[in-house]
Structure 1
């Protein structure tokens, strides 16, 4: 694996070439800018996941989760993350990068409260195992999406349709069918779909850098990119938990 921390005089970046004087062209600067851009996205995404975990643990430990589950307030909390995603996605043009950043942290915190119920259902050990399994899979898939030369853009529409199908199937099974077998099938499809979205979104975010670099939207794309990868990670984790989670 290439050492990204290696000094420039020891290594030329991918896609760079020396000019007539032996100096490296502007492609090196572009590669450095891309790495910085993607690293910022990963840092925001990882910080959001960490905040969600801390809030979830604090919510359970303080008794807030147990006190609110089943109440009208809990219903609002459970739906709030959807409202945040819709607001950030469709209102991005109206908000500044700073406003989107505040909404992202708020979203991660509210999601922590909403997901805290998993500690009432599954054992802490199985949650930890599932989390690290998801983290490993996410890292591998995202790395593949970043480095592959294969164009993954054709997967986008198919995967989004898969997400819609998952939502419909989950609602039908929850309120009408109630089949444990169907629930496992939905979980398996969910893991596969969000695994694909992890690679697809990584490649998409990499391509967006070249389109938006140097513009005001570049700062916003970092926050929105972190949101996309955060959603991929959390959903893959939740579907995988149905297989690896040991119920209390």
Structure 2
């Protein structure tokens, strides 16, 4: 009986240790993601400020009643460099995912923050296209929706794994359709992409949150802190991408244009 009590106490202590580790792991995931999101929006806002001027002298192009593109803005949004700016985050994220196993956790975190800044450059045009008020409103809507979806993914007892393959297929379809619509410029297709995109990234938010939790619980027994540190960065990257894309899709649907 005494031996059984000892085993039960040890198991309970181990369970409590894993629970505490999971909370710390999720805090790191959300903290890293939040810093990355802040970097993105600060970079986008700062760059948009450098790209637009109200002074017509020396302006490269006029984009509004009292708004003109600077030479930097013209290079970013009107020259062939716009294609580099547009696709840089996609190329960056594939390279980052492929190379993270060769990085230390500290290096991976630094690279993630650099990627967040690159994403900010890529989406900086939203400050030229949409009003500042609508950007803030959609950001708040996205934050509330993301928090609820992520909480559901963390707490639900339902296995969300089976819908993962469906969501990934939908994500690939959205990416391909978005690339095609760059050349077609169809407002109807853009609307459909935004609506379907909201549903896909809402599902991915819940799915990725549960996946991060399950992965930690599966690997916590190994005690490899370096691996767990990199797993937290990859988890932050997944949720960051879910948030940014959900925001962009909602902005297309709800944002007020300049």
Q: In structure 2, what is the equivalent of residue 80 of structure 1?
A: 88
Match of 1:227 among 237, 255, 258: 237
The structure that has the greater radius of gyration is: 2
Q: In structure 2, what is the equivalent of residue 42 of structure 1?
A: 30
| Shift, 1:67, TM fit | 4.9
Structure 1 residues not aligned, in runs of 5+:
1-16
Q: C-alpha distance in 2, partners of 1:129/1:118?
A: 13
Q: C-alpha distance in 2, partners of 1:246/1:59?
A: 21
Q: TM-score, normalised by structure 1?
A: 0.87
Equivalent position SS for 1:149: coil
Q: In structure 2, what is the equivalent of residue 204 of structure 1?
A: 211
| Shift, 1:171, TM fit | 2.6
CA contact (8 A) 1:51 1:108 kept: yes
Deviation sequence 1:31-72 (CA, Å, 0-9, x none): 111000001000000110001111111111122445522224
Q: CA RMSD in A?
A: 2.1
Q: Which contiguous aligned blocks of 4+ residues in structure 1 show a shift greater than 3 angstroms?
A: 17-21, 64-67
Range moving further from structure 2, 42-51 or 162-171: 162-171
Q: C-alpha distance in 1, partners of 2:174/2:6?
A: 50
| Shift, 1:26, TM fit | 2.0
Q: C-alpha distance in 2, partners of 1:185/1:103?
A: 33
Q: C-alpha distance in 1, partners of 2:77/2:6?
A: 63
Q: In structure 2, what is the equivalent of residue 182 of structure 1?
A: 189
Range moving further from structure 2, 209-218 or 31-40: 209-218
Q: TM-score, normalised by structure 2?
A: 0.84
| Shift, 1:211, TM fit | 2.6
| Shift, 1:27, TM fit | 1.1
CA contact (8 A) 1:18 1:24 kept: no
CA contact (8 A) 1:65 1:116 kept: no
Q: Is residue 62 of structure 2 the alignment partner of residue 55 of structure 1?
A: no
Q: Which has the higher helix share?
A: 2
| Shift, 1:102, TM fit | 1.5
Equivalent position SS for 2:160: coil
Question: Are residues 67 and 27 of structure 1, via their aligned partners in 2, closer, same or farther at CA, if it must alter by over 3 Å?
Answer: same
Match of 1:99 among 95, 107, 121: 107
Equivalent position SS for 1:246: coil
CA contact (8 A) 1:187 1:239 kept: yes
Matches within 5 A, 1:2-13: none
Matches within 5 A, 1:125-136: 125-136=133-144
Range moving further from structure 2, 36-45 or 94-103: 94-103
Q: In structure 2, what is the equivalent of residue 191 of structure 1?
A: 198
Structure 2 residues not aligned, in runs of 5+:
52-71
Give the number of aligned pairs.
Answer: 231
